[in-house]
Every structure is written in structure tokens, then in C-alpha cells.
């Protein structure tokens, strides 16, 4: 997990951190809030959306920062570094399940494509 926001995002120490998050339940939401609370970093929910497209749009417009992985990161957004005094986020597990022990050739091929794309994106 990483903090993501507009390329020019900056917040001063002591200011509330505006968050743009997906509606609950979301695998990124609670770990991010918990990391901020542990770091005693003030935050506020500035934007909530049921869709990833809405989240990217809000973050691009500078309404807040979000928590995601770098997979599919739009070019107008950036991973935010330590310069914004953001706490470290935990890793997130990714699981891929198939309904059958011996999937059909199409399902097996889709699994291969997904795994290849994931491996390429994390290099």
C-alpha cells in the first residue's frame, strides 16, 4: 500500500490530512486510518466514493490523498513520499482463486496473464 495524490500535493505539519477513500468495506481504508491514528496524524475524510474512477478523479483534483497500490496508477497522480510526513503503510496480500482445481484452458490462461501483469508491475 502507498499514499497517492496529485503530483503537487503538499500539506504542512499540523494540518489535517484530507483523505479520499472508497466507501467501506475497503481493504485499504482501515489500515490507512489506523496508520494515521498510530502516528497521531490528524486527518479528515474529504471525499468518499463507491468507485475507483471517482477516487482517482478526486485525488487528481487535489481534494485529498488516497491509499492504493501502484497498479493502474493514472499518470497525473504520484506516490507521495515522506516529505508529507505520512506514516508507512502495511503490505497488502493478493489472492487469486479458481473455482476448480483443474480450471478450463481459458481460466488457466487468464490466470497466467494476470500473474504475468502483476509480476511486471511490481518490478
Pairing of strands 2-6, 77-79: antiparallel
- CA dist 91 and 79 (Å) reads 15
Give the DSSP H or E segment for 113: helix 105-121
User: Among residues 49, 44, 56, 50, which one has the least CA distance to residue 15?
Assistant: 44
Describe the chain by its helix, strand, coil percentages, rounded to 5.
30, 20, 50
Output the pTM of the full model.
0.81
Give pLDDT tens digits along the chain (123 positions): 999 999 988 877 778 999 999 998 999 999 999 999 999 999 999 999 999 999 999 999 999 999 999 888 999 999 997 767 799 999 988 777 777 778 888 888 988 888 887 777 665
Confidence (pLDDT) at 16: 92
Q: What is the pLDDT of residue 93?
A: 83
Q: What is the DSSP string of 28-66?
A: THHHHHHHHHHTT--EEEEEEESSHHHHHHHHHTTS-BE
pLDDT of residue 89: 94
Amino acid at each position: 500500500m502507498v499514499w497517492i495524490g496529485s503530483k503537487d500535493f503538499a500539506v504542512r505539519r499540523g494540518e489535517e490530512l484530507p483523505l479520499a477513500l472508497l466507501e467501506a468495506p475497503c481493504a485499504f481504508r482501515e489500515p490507512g486510518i489506523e496508520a494515521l491514528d498510530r502516528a497521531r496524524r490528524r486527518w479528515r475524510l474529504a471525499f468518499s466514493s463507491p468507485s475507483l474512477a471517482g477516487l482517482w478523479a478526486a485525488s487528481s483534483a487535489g481534494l485529498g490523498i488516497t491509499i492504493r497500490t501502484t497498479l493502474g496508477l493514472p499518470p497525473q497522480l504520484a506516490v507521495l513520499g515522506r516529505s508529507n510526513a505520512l506514516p508507512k503503510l502495511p503490505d497488502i496480500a493478493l489472492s487469486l482463486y479458481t473455482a476448480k482445481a483443474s480450471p478450463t484452458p481459458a481460466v488457466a490462461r487468464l490466470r497466467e496473464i494476470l500473474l504475468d501483469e502483476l509480476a511486471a508491475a511490481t518490478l
